[in-house]
Amino acid sequence: MASSMRIGLLSTGIMGWPMARRLAEAGHAVGAWNRSPGNAAALAGHGVALAATPLAAVAEAEVVIGMLGSGPVCDAVLLAGGVLAAMRPGSLLAVMSSIPAEAARRHAGLAAARGVASLDAPASGGERGAREGTLSIMAGGAEADFARALPVFRPLGRATHVGPAGAGQLAKLANQVIVAGSIATVAEALLLAERGGADAGRVRDALLGGFAESTVLRQHALRMIGRDFVPGGPAKYQVKDTGTALGLCAALGLDLPVLRLVDRLFADMVAHGDGDLDHSAIIQELRRRNRLAMD
């Protein structure tokens, strides 16, 4: 493939929208589809062609990127919706959604049967990473297919080939286990400092540079302190991923007690109606549990 490619992007949500813009600005010919057309409309001003249907978005594409919300949605659009069947033999499907590893392996097998290459290439970094082109992309599939996809991945962030089909999703699950636990732990630490009478913002500043420093402490702690929960990574997607990880643990005979506790905490947050808030709003769930003021 040439360095400039014809790309079909499916779903222009929180991360898909800036990804489509970055790909177009990098010189690729991007056609994008979104279930709600209004969300994608502004992309036309960035050189993205808007497609009325998923099939129209992928008809001439050399690479199709799926940023769909879950495994069942991927199945509905890619399989039941006919996207995979409409892709040209020799084209490449990159599913960048977070889905179960077994679903990624199934997609790979079905794609191969149609002469379509595939990668499961979920990304971490949220809206900010998608906007700034600093996503961490974990790709599973054949090395040759990963090499073909690099011109597409480069405008989006840093891509790493981690193994065969399904390995990208396993890497993303590991990432989400770390992220979910870190967000919950940072929230608990800030609440402890706050209730003990310290300035949570200054405590956060003091911890930077020590062993507690992390992206979560640098970025999400500021959200927690400022009560800024506009979603970059909605909590409902966090609990989807921790639930997927627990399902895999059951299949592997693993008991990960911290993951179980964190999953329950996020599940309670979603059950209390906060699923569309950023996952850093888990501190609100902790306030709720401790009968503390939410404002």
270: left (phi over 0), alpha (psi -120 to 50) or beta: alpha
Q: How many CA atoms lie within 13 A of 198 on its CB side?
A: 13
Q: DSSP character for 41?
A: G
Residue from 212, 223, 33 nearest 128 by CA: 223
Phi, psi of 251, deg, nearest 5: -65, -30
Whole-angstrom distance, CA of residue 40 vs CA of residue 38 = 5
Whole-angstrom distance, CA of residue 147 vs CA of residue 240 = 30
The catalytic position among 172, 220, 240, 279 is: 172
Q: Are 185 and 222 in contact (CB under 8 A)?
A: no
236 tagged catalytic: no
Tell me the two tokens of residue 88.
Answer: 């040209």
Residue from 99, 94, 111, 100 nearest 159 by CA: 94
Phi, psi of 159, deg, nearest 5: -105, 140
Beta strand pairing status for 117-120 and 92-95? Answer: parallel
Tell me the two tokens of residue 160.
Answer: 């790493």
Q: Are 162 and 139 in contact (CB under 8 A)?
A: yes
Whole-angstrom distance, CA of residue 138 vs CA of residue 175 = 10
Sign of CA dihedral 253, 247, 288, 202: positive
Q: Which residues are catalytic?
A: 172
